[in-house]
Structure 1
């Protein structure tokens, strides 16, 4: 099997890259420079017509959308325990429910905070405020659920990496993450995972190739 991940450092493709590292798969990563709008180039649109990352090429077949890619990897490599497994499909599919929640609910709030102008042709300030308020409610609930553990209790899952990406990315847009000490501690646990560090090294190498020195966690 040949696998290629099209990504951009610190974008949501980081979650898929972390999943590949957790599984231990051999793969090639190709950075799509979103700072120069490479995702809109004809070359990249021929790979992913949606013009965004991640895109995962598995033996010549392109897969898109974080939630779908992560569910595929979980079902294909269950021993990696990206998500909980259970003989009861209603329980097993809770992982899919949570992936869709991350991508369909949390992720748009982050985009409201980081790129509010893309949501309106008017003053984007209100869009950002709305995203901040909504994410604050979600982060309070997430912090209460996680406590000193992970999303599913004592065991890490890829949901932890996804929500980490969300709140840490929102913080770069001014979201007051310091109001949630539980999430700050959760972030430290996520960043300490060997798979995360390997993905971070790949992302930094990609930035070095673009001539960009900084990589924001």
Structure 2
């Protein structure tokens, strides 16, 4: 029997991967990497993931990194989970992977600009957060327009992209991003949080805070 291990941190983008595993109902183990204590740089974790970040997914001792790749692997290996749309058309189905890459490589860095601008330079941080906020608001307007016409990103079909979008904008909202400017996005966030798989993922994160004595306010996750 194969063994799947997810390396994660509460509140990080690994929450998306955690939700995907919960949605699929697949058996897995969680391993919590305390990135606030620089545990991602420990020799043991570097041996698993030289990139020193979360998430990482280990399957039978082999490690996969980068959220889009991990989520696409789960989509392919757990086809009944419905993590991404399947139309049978190769080109159309690639849209799911494209949207995951958009979340990870375009939106996610904007969130980092807003929340932690000092990570972007060794010098003056002025203007970095403002630049990220300007860019994210532009993307939020696009997302708002789409979600104002549908329940989920792909119409009436939930997908893991919905959770990734939730993570992006809810995390940015802990900084200068104002979710109240985007009512459809705010309503979408409530729907994501209400989904049972998300609630189970959140429960795992909160338990991890207590069990691992992490320096996080679990009530704010």
* Category of TM-score, reference length = shorter chain: over 0.9
RMSD of the TM alignment (CA)?
Answer: 1.0
Out of 158, 162, 168, the residue aligned to residue 156 of structure 1 is: 158
Q: Name 2:208's counterpart in structure 1.
A: 206
Q: Separation in 2 of the partners of 1:30 and 1:174?
A: 31
1:10 partner SS:
coil
Summarize the alignment of residues 1-217 of structure 1 with structure 2, pairs less than 5 Å apart: 1-147=2-148, 148-212=150-214, 214-215=217-218, 216-217=220-221
Q: Separation in 1 of the partners of 2:33 and 2:176?
A: 25
Q: Separation in 1 of the partners of 2:126 and 2:190?
A: 31
How much has 1:174 moved relative to structure 2?
Answer: 2.1
TM-score, normalised by the number of residues in structure 1: 0.97
Alignment check: 8 A CA contact 1:78 1:85 kept = no
TM-score, normalised by the number of residues in structure 2: 0.95
Q: Separation in 1 of the partners of 2:52 and 2:173?
A: 25
Deviations 1:129-166 (A, max 9, x none): 00000000001100100114110001110000001000
How much has 1:178 moved relative to structure 2?
Answer: 1.3
Deviations 1:9-68 (A, max 9, x none): 000000000000000011110100011110111121111110000010111110100000
Deviations 1:92-150 (A, max 9, x none): 11111111111111111111111110111222131110000000000110010011411
How much has 1:76 moved relative to structure 2?
Answer: 1.1
Which ranges of 4 or more aligned residues in structure 1 deviate by more than 3 Å?
none
Q: Separation in 2 of the partners of 1:210 and 1:3?
A: 20
Q: Separation in 2 of the partners of 1:190 and 1:124?
A: 33
Deviations 1:147-205 (A, max 9, x none): 14110001110000001000000111221111111111101000000000100010011
Q: Separation in 2 of the partners of 1:114 and 1:40?
A: 21
Unpaired runs of 5+ in structure 2? Answer: none
